[in-house]
Structure 1
Amino acid sequence: MSVSADSTSADAPPAARPYDPFIAAMGAVATGVTVVATDGPTGKFAQTVSAMCSVSVNPRLVLVCINSRSPINEAIHANGTFTVNVLGSQHDHVADTFAGRPWPGKDPWDFSCGEWVPAPSGSPRIRDAVASFDCTIHQVVEAGTHQIYIGAVTDVETHSGDPLIYSAQTYAKPLPVPPSVFDDYPGSGPTYRKHTKETTK
């Protein structure tokens, strides 16, 4: 595990913030870490995003939530396309850079922090992302402080590796958990069917 970089001075005390049980509870949620990126006439932009999920398989749709204050919103609307890059455990510095917390010697939102290649739409794609979805805008919904983008997936790329996880202000990677055992229920535990011709009919 590695702790995300703090953008405040080591000598400055953290700013006092009123306790919010909702924020505290959400901080305990483990999420994947993605970077949403776009490129076009308005320029190249990217933003670290933890709120991402699949919406539909047919048609192929994914969802991301981006704070309305982020300058990437205007660019996505203008360009009409974006990528959703699922970060691997080696990409903690990429996550911090595009969250506005660059490591020493780097600038915030600096594309030199990773190896980027163009997706078919022209939007930037992290070359070794665990997964990358190239999208066109399917729908945009404004909700509270955020813009919800539903992207129609036009291209998918995957690579091996451990996905980066974020929880309690700390980065981590997945570890297998042995199944629970209950003495009163011999043989209990998960069962997984193999994908065979018989089971997929």
Structure 2
Amino acid sequence: MTDTHTATHPLQQPFRDAMASCAAGVHVITTDGSAGRYGITMTAVAPITDEPPTVLLCINRQSAIIPILSANSHLCINVLSAHQQDIAEHFAGLTPLSPEERFEYHIWHRGQTGQLQVEGALAHLHGKITAQHDIGTHHVFYVEIGEIKVHDTAAPALVYFRRNFNSLK
């Protein structure tokens, strides 16, 4: 049996390099509930179906948010605008802020289910985890969306491309 923490697949780095060539929207996923409050910056967010509206989230199994999301079961997908790069950096752990301090540097509101949404985001999608499983190094969550708020449709989006944050109009 191969130890997945030390062994690497021969295509791992070429795969990562190829995926870095795919521009992706930047999101901050937040959850708050009995297991605590937490947030994480993500690009591995994809729509699955619009009936019912469902989104897929892929998160590395080493991430501290996995047990918190699983226990809370509700979350908010904050679709970041180009001027919110600092938020993306905070929640990606690129700054020295603790997970709790990350929430202190921005203005937050609560959606109908009580989940935190950051002011100024292009959109907020609130949902409930309906299924989950592991594949390779990642945990996959299926989230049925129950509340959607679309805000500024003219502002540029924050995207991640070739391992850098960029603006897309």
Indicate whether the TM-score tops 0.5. yes
With the length of structure 1 as denominator, give the TM-score of the two structures. 0.73
Q: Which residue of 2 aligns with 1:107?
A: 97
Q: Which residue of 1 aligns with 2:89?
A: 96
Q: Which residue of 2 aligns with 1:144?
A: 136
User: What amino acid does structure 2 have at the position aligned with 1:23?
Assistant: R
Correspondence 1:1-201 to 2 at 5 A: 20-102=13-95, 107-109=97-99, 110-160=102-152, 161-175=155-169
- Which of 1 and 2 has higher RCO (CA within 8 Å, sep 6+)? 2
- Where 1:20 maps in the other structure, the secondary structure is helix
Partners of 1:118 and 1:87 in 2: CA distance: 16
| Cα deviation digits, residues 68-99 of structure 1 (max 9, x gap) | 11111111111110111111001101111111
Task: Answer 1 or 2: which has greater strand percent.
Answer: 2
When Rg is computed on C-alpha atoms for both structures, the one with the higher figure is: 1
Residues matched between the structures, number: 154
Q: Report deviation, 1:36.
A: 0.7
Partners of 1:114 and 1:64 in 2: CA distance: 23
- Tell me if structure 2 keeps the 8 A contact 1:117–1:126: yes
Unpaired stretches in structure 1, ≥5 consecutive residues: 1-18, 176-201
With the length of structure 2 as denominator, give the TM-score of the two structures. 0.86
Moved over 2 A (4+): none
- Tell me if structure 2 keeps the 8 A contact 1:36–1:47: yes
Unpaired stretches in structure 2, ≥5 consecutive residues: 1-11
Partners of 2:135 and 2:76 in 1: CA distance: 21
The percent identity for this pair of structures is 28
